[in-house]
Amino acid sequence: MTRAELAEAVNRYVWTTTGQHCHLDVNTLARYERGQIRWPSAVYRDGLRAVLGVARDADLGFRPTPRGKTAAPLSNPDSWVAQGASGPHDAQVGDSASVMSTLRRELMSYAPELDRLTQDAPSGETMRLRVAAAFTAYQAGHFEGAAAQATEALQALHPGVDVRVRALAYQIAAIVLSKAGHADVAWIAADRGVLAAESGGDIRVRLSLLRTAAFAMAAGGHREDALISIDAAARDFERHMARSRASASVYGTLLLSGAVLSANHGDPGLATTYLDEAQRAADVAGSDRNDLWTAFGPTNVAIHHANVAAAFGDMDVVLSIGAPLPVEHLPIERQVRLHLDIARAGIATGDREDALTTLVRAEAIAPSQVRHHPITRKVVASLIEAPPRGRSLALSRLAALVGIGAA
């Protein structure tokens, strides 16, 4: 049987025996064969045993994996291609409300940029580095630091700034505000970024801004409009995807956003379609990259497979993908996002101690990101209802971080 025939047979078997729709595909089967997924969800294991005529999971080469643990780093960390700049991350978690409010005010002030065009106006290179510092802070999981850097960049914008840098300044502002729950102002920032990107003529920057705009739409409750926007952007850019690895990275990241939004909208078929196409883009990219701060590549596609599985409540898949996945070479923001899904899966599968351990690990490396993410609040609330023994201090600290009381 070909992989396609096997996938179809398993999906058909599961449907006829349980009435459950499954979406096993050739890419997932390939990951099983390569050992990237060592313990598929129970329904897929059942289907594969039945179709292939074996009695045990071990006969298929499947072994349970440790839950909530990430694997060792990739053997070739130098394959990670990073673009950006370091910058001060001196805003603390306690300053969150103040820093976000300052960024909001800057976006809503409509200060005339002509007043800034003086001999002291920052150079183009200085502006580029300021924007890069904001993205670097965000990818380090430091949302307040990113907001502070984005505010400084926006305050320094003047008519002489390259439109691509302008677009990216608005993009990082929109990203941080969306993640921090300020969807209303995030949309303003994203819209200005799209307008700047449109005038710049760089199709990759334009596509990246359209992705951020769609995310801001969804964060503001306009999920269907966001999906329409992503579909239109993907169709328009698809012919450019194979021109370069950077093009594939930007295109693939748009598709990953579409997959997550589709899953949250309750459309598993569309989510799978986006994931499959994102995998094709990852094949073109060839490795985990960071073009335009996308952190795109095969590993990020796998993380989004876990994200989508979590959205549909298939926590066995989350654990089978996430537990063995090496992510230490990725930006901290990506690592922590996977940790949060693994913690959520631990709650769902009854492994509350592991869920708390995973969440504590995530909070240790990116307290700002963990504090702002809604998954954290859900996991902590669940743990408070039935706390693991011997971890009351850690749980109390996490509860205080997200602003809920621990019993």
Q: Are 207 and 244 in contact (CB under 8 A)?
A: no
Q: What is the DSSP string of 224-253?
A: HHHHHHHHHHHHHHGGGGGG-HHHHHHHHH
pLDDT reported for residue 349: 87
Q: Are 134 and 204 in contact (CB under 8 A)?
A: no
pLDDT reported for residue 46: 83
pLDDT reported for residue 76: 30
Q: Does residue 199 sit in helix, strand or coil?
A: helix
Global pTM reads: 0.75
Q: Does residue 289 sit in helix, strand or coil?
A: strand
Beta bridge partners of 289: 81
Which of 265, 3, 140 has its CA nearest to residue 11?
Answer: 3
pLDDT reported for residue 65: 53
Q: What is the DSSP string of 32-82?
A: HHHTS-SS--HHHHHHHHHHHT-S-GGGGT-----TT---PPPS-GGG-B-
Residue 406: enclosing H or E segment and its boundaries? none
Q: Give the residue extent of every domain in the chain.
A: 1-64, 92-221, 245-327, 331-407
pLDDT reported for residue 178: 93
Q: Are 280 and 272 in contact (CB under 8 A)?
A: no
pLDDT tens digits, the chain, 407 residues: what are they?
888 889 889 888 877 776 666 677 777 787 778 776 677 777 778 888 889 988 888 888 887 654 333 333 322 322 223 344 444 344 444 467 789 999 999 999 887 776 666 556 788 888 999 999 999 999 999 999 999 999 999 999 988 899 999 999 999 999 999 998 899 999 999 999 999 999 988 999 999 999 999 999 999 999 999 999 999 999 999 988 888 999 999 999 999 999 999 999 999 999 999 999 999 999 999 999 999 999 999 999 999 999 999 999 999 889 989 888 889 899 999 999 999 999 999 999 888 888 898 998 899 889 989 988 999 999 999 988 877 765 578 888 888 888 886 44
Check whether domain 92-221 has CATH 1.10.287, yes or no: no
